C-alpha cells in the first residue's frame, strides 16, 4: 500500500488534461488548504478532489470494500470518509466550494466536463459535494 500514490494519479491527470484543453488554469495540491485539494482555482475560491472509488468508499463497483480482513479494511475506509467530510467542512468554513470527481465518472468524460464546467462557471453549486 505504500506504493499507492496520493498525487498525480491517473484519474487526476486525466481530469487535469481535460480542464487544461478547455482553457481552465489551476494550482495543484495546495498545502495550505484542508485536505490538499487536487485542483485549486484560487480566483474562484473553488477546489476539486479526484477520488479513487476504492479508497474513498464510493458506491460503485470499484468502491466496495474487500470481503476478507474486514477488521482491517472497514476502519481504514471509514476513517478516509470521515477525513474527507471533515476537510470539505473545513474548506466550506473558509469560504471555498468543493467538488468531488470520482474515478469511475471519468469513463464518461463529456458528462464529467459538463458537471465541472457548471461548478466552476457558476456560483455556489447545489451539487458541489455530489457523489453521483
SS (H, E, C) 34-78: CCCCCEEEHHHCEEEEEECHHHHCCCCHHHCCCCCCHHHHHHHHH
- Split at pLDDT 50, 70, 90, the class of 62 is confident
Global model pTM greater than 0.75 = yes
pLDDT of 53 above 60:
yes
Distance CA 18, CA 108 (A): 12
**CA 34 to the chain's CA centroid:** 13
What pLDDT is recorded for position 5?
56
What pLDDT is recorded for position 42?
95
Q: Domain 10-119 - what CATH class?
A: alpha beta
What pLDDT is recorded for position 64?
83
Task: Enter the C-alpha cell of residue 94.
Answer: 473558509
Average confidence (pLDDT) over 77-84: 94
The mean predicted confidence, pLDDT, of the chain is 88
First to last CA, the chain: 27
pLDDT of 63 above 70:
yes
What pLDDT is recorded for position 10?
87
What tens digit of pLDDT does each residue of 3-18 get?
455 677 889 999 999 9
What tens digit of pLDDT does each residue of 92-131 get?
999 999 999 999 999 999 999 999 999 999 865 444 444 4
Amino acid at each position: 500500500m505504500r506504493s499507492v500514490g496520493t498525487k498525480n494519479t491517473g484519474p487526476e491527470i486525466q481530469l487535469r488534461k481535460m480542464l487544461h484543453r478547455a482553457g481552465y488554469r489551476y494550482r495543484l495540491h495546495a498545502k495550505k488548504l484542508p485536505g490538499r485539494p487536487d485542483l485549486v482555482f484560487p480566483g474562484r475560491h473553488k477546489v476539486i478532489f479526484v477520488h479513487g472509488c476504492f479508497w474513498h468508499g464510493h458506491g460503485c463497483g470499484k468502491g466496495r470494500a474487500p470481503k476478507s480482513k474486514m477488521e482491517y479494511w472497514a476502519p481504514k475506509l471509514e476513517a478516509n470518509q470521515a477525513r474527507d467530510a471533515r476537510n470539505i467542512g473545513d474548506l466550506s468554513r473558509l469560504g471555498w466550494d468543493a467538488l468531488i470527481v470520482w474515478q469511475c465518472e471519468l469513463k464518461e468524460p463529456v458528462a464529467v466536463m459538463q458537471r465541472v464546467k457548471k461548478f466552476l462557471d457558476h456560483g455556489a453549486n447545489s451539487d458541489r459535494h455530489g457523489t453521483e
